[in-house]
Structure 1
Amino acid sequence: MWREGIGVSATDVTRAEAEESSVPESQPVGSRFRLPAWSVRRAGTVLAPALIFLGIRELGLLVLTWMAARNNHSVSEALRSWDGQWFLAIAGGGYEGVPDGLVDAYGQRSAETPLAFFPGYPMVVRWFAAIDGQGGIGLVTSALTVTIVSGVVCSYGLARLGRHIRGGSHRTGLILVALFAASPMSVVLAMAYSEAMFCALAAWALVGVLEKRWLLAGVCCALAGLVRSTGAALVLAVGLAALLVVIRDPRSWRAWLGGALAPAGLLGYLAWVGVRTGEWNGWFALQERGWGTGFDGGAATLRFSLDALADARSVLEVVTVWLIVAALVLLVVMIVRKVEWPLIAYSAAVLAMDLASNGLMNSKARLMVPAFTLLIPVALALAKRRVSTFVVALCALAVLSSWFGAYALTSWGYAI
């Protein structure tokens, strides 16, 4: 008898089992119970997503440190700049305790201005900072820790997502993690910004959709809606997927519950802001008044793109335009390759929210970071190449994105 084509007979197996059982009881325990040879490999497999993410982000921090020194900037200040100041202020004193020195894009400030920033991230930062009950570890340290931990949690969600997609594999998942960690504006995944936390919740919500784990999808989606307005894109994907299941099987209470939970966080916060401001569209009005952000169908983005390409005012603006083009191409590739439709819906919604609105054009690249599902076609393509090929490609991308992120914080003089 032969097992799986390996030349071991039943007699040999029986003899081996007999020899193993004949080991004297007096023999040292360590010689009879050895650590399996594959345990190190198993540990590497378990830790791989975290190690890949942390390794690439460490490279980004090293490049940022170098460029900050060359440009006379503080790394610590860079990592908590711009929106980070708002999140830290809200974490420290709540919406009522934000210092008057923090103003909107027009240099103005009202009592409602801080409400433009969602509460999920600063709330967790505040809880973590006070974890020891004696003053905590400091808001900045807490914020950066929450960001990095969120990135690691996201990496495991992406690794799992890469195994579930059509044509995916374990290798695809790890490559997807590397692509996310090395995305062009991935520097925010190490800053006091809310992108990392949102991406972690979004990744696991989408895992819940693909695995038909509706409670996981609904809860993660609801929490994501408390972190960023991009939660609307996630609500669309999770809600539609749950609705289709309910239509096919009305008795699926988990799909009912998951679909009902999905918009709870986002709608709850928007309603609360509406009550606080006395306007039914309070949050949107704050965005319009303070940052000039509103839906215009993409007219402002088109004008910005044409102007940036025409006179090439800066590296950041030109690269941003080409990143927009690349994102749109990847969305088309996702459709052609028939990637699971909830992932396409989520990608399209994130892009629509970003590109079809006016406001700060310099933030377009950063606002595409949550559209990590656009990286799936690239991950699938690289997974089919030789190990040396995709390793070299990912290393090159990591170096370029590290430089671009450091440039945005140390050389570019405006908000990202």
Structure 2
Amino acid sequence: MATVVSESVERDTRLGRAWYANPYVQAAGLFALVRVVGVAILWLLADQHNRKIIDLLTAWDGDWYLGLAEHGYADLPSNFLDAAGNHTEHTALAFFPAYPKLVDFVHTVTGIGLEPSGVIVSALAGIAAALGIYRIGARLDGRHRVGLLLVALWAGAPLAISLSMTYTEALFTALAAWALVGVLEQRWLLAGLCCAAAGLARPSASVLVAVVGIAALIAVINGRRRPWAIACMVLCPLGLIGWWSYVAGKTGNLLGWFEIQRIGWGFEFDGGQESWKFLGHVLASGSSLMETVNVLVMIGGIVLTVLAAIQRVPWPLVAYSAGIVIMVIGASGITFAKARFMIPGFTLLIPIALGLANRKLPTAVAATAGVVLLGCWLSAYALTGWKFAV
């Protein structure tokens, strides 16, 4: 089962099948199709609100990342403000460096503007993520269909518009997916390098570091590919620890990054107190669509994690799902963005993909299309009809 995808590709090549029959090409094409639909729906809603689509795709945090790509951390203009309305010499250090560095690289090499460079980085990263997600889905029970369903559900999830924005979700998910591929296939160098790179993209890497590190430790204990597993254990935390250490040196505070997040954006781990208050308020009042969506996504994350455990999905995937859910629900700050914060948790969708794969093809396609269209519309609404950050 571990090599089912690669064996399938080799068989297709050996039989001389057309390039479009390659499962990876199909996964990339499906991801691109869903995202084109999502952006098209956003364009329609943007036109209704007299908004430019490029402004929406680079809104909120996207503007910060483009600013960092253009000016760097030290020279970022003072009009870049945190959620509290402040700008200090250390405010920008809340944002991880991998994405803006890649945007700057594409901008420098191609000569095109920063905004399209950012969209290109996200698009390419999204395709890379889709390939990793397909590989994980297809190897769960050896079925091509599961992988494609998982890709489609992820690409069309609520707030998956962030995968087409100048945000870090696509880049981080690509690195996380391939790190988990490395774990499942015991390709420890792949897992360690991807995990280290993910640590320079988003704080969600703390979950990935824990999962990859524990899996490598188990392999060391069991004596399986011990030297490479040890190398993975050394590599996997380097990016995250490196960035936190850099920020600590700049601020003179060992917990400098966490302080910047707490003061500027209200982010800190409170065990879910704020999230549960938010959940109770929304369920009692039903005050807005986006608040209700965020609550349903949080509840859904818990339910899907439990289902994955019951269905005996490989433990690294369940652990990664659980870690993402705990991080999102357990942290305070910007409750309206909880649905977006769940996007890297593509493993949460595995029980749905497995369930749909067991249905007749027309049923699976119709259900998936319905979920994708709803998710794309919610994404577009979040950027046009909702006034708060996502």
TM-score strictly above 0.5: yes
Kindly provide the amino acid, as one letter, of the partner of residue 225 in structure 1. G
1:66 aligns with 2:44: yes
In 2: Cα distance, 1:245 partner to 1:39 partner: 37
In 1: Cα distance, 2:225 partner to 2:24 partner: 37
1:384 aligns with 2:358: yes
Give 5+ residue unaligned stretches, structure 1: 1-34
Aligned-pair distance for 1:73? Answer: 1.5
Q: Determine the structure 2 residue equivalent to 1:397.
A: 371
In 2: Cα distance, 1:42 partner to 1:183 partner: 25
Q: Determine the structure 2 residue equivalent to 1:19.
A: none
Tell me the SS of whatever aligns to 1:130.
helix
1:109 aligns with 2:87: yes
Question: Which residues in structure 2 correspond to 1:180-195 (within 5 Å)?
Answer: 180-195=154-169
Tell me the SS of whatever aligns to 1:95.
coil
Is the CA contact 2:23–2:144 (under 8 Å) kept in the aligned structure 1? no
1:283 aligns with 2:257: yes
Picking from 99, 106, 116, the partner of 2:77 is 99
Tell me the SS of whatever aligns to 1:110.
coil
Tell me the SS of whatever aligns to 1:97.
coil
Picking from 95, 98, 103, the partner of 1:120 is 98
Q: Determine the structure 2 residue equivalent to 1:9.
A: none
Q: Determine the structure 1 residue equivalent to 2:194.
A: 220
Kindly provide the amino acid, as one letter, of the partner of residue 218 in structure 1. G
Give 5+ residue unaligned stretches, structure 2: 1-12
Picking from 312, 317, 321, the partner of 1:347 is 321
Aligned-pair distance for 1:98? Answer: 1.5
Picking from 128, 131, 134, the partner of 1:156 is 131
Q: 1:41 to 1:219 in 2, by over 3 A?
A: closer
Kindly provide the amino acid, as one letter, of the partner of residue 405 in structure 1. S
In 1: Cα distance, 2:211 partner to 2:169 partner: 18
Kindly provide the amino acid, as one letter, of the partner of residue 276 in structure 1. K
Is the CA contact 1:56–1:178 (under 8 Å) kept in the aligned structure 2? yes
In 2: Cα distance, 1:103 partner to 1:226 partner: 22
Kindly provide the amino acid, as one letter, of the partner of residue 109 in structure 1. H
Kindly provide the amino acid, as one letter, of the partner of residue 61 in structure 1. V
Question: Which residues in structure 2 correspond to 1:12-411 (within 5 Å)?
Answer: 39-40=17-18, 43=21, 45-132=23-110, 136-165=111-140, 167-249=141-223, 252-411=226-385
In 2: Cα distance, 1:196 partner to 1:46 partner: 17
Is the CA contact 1:164–1:210 (under 8 Å) kept in the aligned structure 2? no
Give me the CA root mean square deviation.
1.5
Q: 1:43 to 1:97 in 2, by over 3 A?
A: farther
Kindly provide the amino acid, as one letter, of the partner of residue 372 in structure 2. A
Q: 1:37 to 1:161 in 2, by over 3 A?
A: closer
Aligned-pair distance for 1:397? Answer: 1.0
The percent identity for this pair of structures is 42
Could you tell which deviates more after superposition, 245-254 or 118-127? 245-254
In 2: Cα distance, 1:342 partner to 1:168 partner: 18
Is the CA contact 2:19–2:25 (under 8 Å) kept in the aligned structure 1? no
Provide Cα deviations, 1:83-105, integer angstroms capped at 9, x if missing partner.
00100000111101212111011
Count of aligned pairs between the two proteins: 378
In 2: Cα distance, 1:171 partner to 1:251 partner: 31
Aligned-pair distance for 1:38? Answer: 5.7
